[in-house]
Amino acid sequence: MSDLKPALEAVLMVVDEPATEAHLAKVLERTPREVADALRELADEYTVQGRGFELRQVAGGWRYYTRAEHAAAVEAFVLEGQQARLTQAALETLAVVAYRQPVSRSRVSAVRGVNCDGVMRTLLQRGLVEETGAEPETGAILYRTTNYFLERMGLRGLDELPELAPFLPEAEAVEPDSLEGVPSFDPDAPDREDDDDKTEV
């Protein structure tokens, strides 16, 4: 395994999406078990050494990530003071899709109480949601989140989404189909309201 770890590091340095254990095993001509063990050992070693990056298993594969405690330094370097974040409207719409998928645009708009067509186009363009067939009754296009969404959120699967109940308001009744009160789960979410939320074009 002495030569496997450096090979894995070299490959993972150039991937643009999480690499699966099966794919890595095929490329490096090793067994999936050997690759899985080596990946976990590498991840543990980086943690013990206190490296500025970590090797994480997300969206069905493995990829390097900056450690959370160094996010501010990376953001300052990459963005240089400019904001490249989703608006509050986009985050809320993405939350509805994530928790109600597969879901139509009209259903998303009904939950949020505003027309979401423009925001949905933005999420599609960014690769966070995708089309997944049509609703049998109405023929409306249905949408779901993508593997890129899981990757950006650092999730292995949708079952790791946080439960909604702890975040729902206690003082007032909340309809079962409503997602009002759902907090933003984007780690880069800005703490502001979207001024264009009412028109959303």
**Of the ranges 16-25, 66-75, 150-159, which is most confident?**
16-25
Q: Which two tokens stand for residue 27?
A: 């490329």
Hey, what are 84's tokens?
Answer: 């490249």
For residues 62 and 19, the answer to whether their CB atoms sit within 8 Å is yes
pLDDT digits (tens, 9 = 90+) for 117-174: 889 988 998 899 999 999 888 889 999 999 999 988 888 899 998 887 665 554 343 4
Q: 25-29, 89-93, 156-160, 166-170: which range is least confident on average?
A: 166-170
- Point out the least confidently predicted range of 77-86, 122-131, 152-161, 186-195: 186-195
Mean pLDDT of the chain: 81
Q: Which H or E run contains 56? A: strand 53-58
Q: Spell out where the chain has E strands.
A: 53-58, 61-66, 103-104, 129-134, 141-145
Q: What is the predicted pLDDT for the residue at 163?
A: 83
Topology of the domain covering 85-201 = Arc Repressor Mutant, subunit A (1.10.10)
Residue 19 has pLDDT above 50, yes or no: yes
Find the helix packing angle between 32-49 and 4-12, rounded to 10°.
80
Distance in angstroms (rounded) separating the CA atoms of residues 184 and 99:
12
Domain ranges of the chain: 4-77, 85-201
DSSP 3-state assignment of 118? helix
Instruction: Give the Cα separation of 93 and 6 in Å (integer).
Output: 41
CB 25 within 8 A of CB 32: yes
Element (H, E) at 18: none
Residue pair 142/150 in contact by the 8 Å Cβ criterion: no
CATH architecture entry for 4-77: Orthogonal Bundle (1.10)
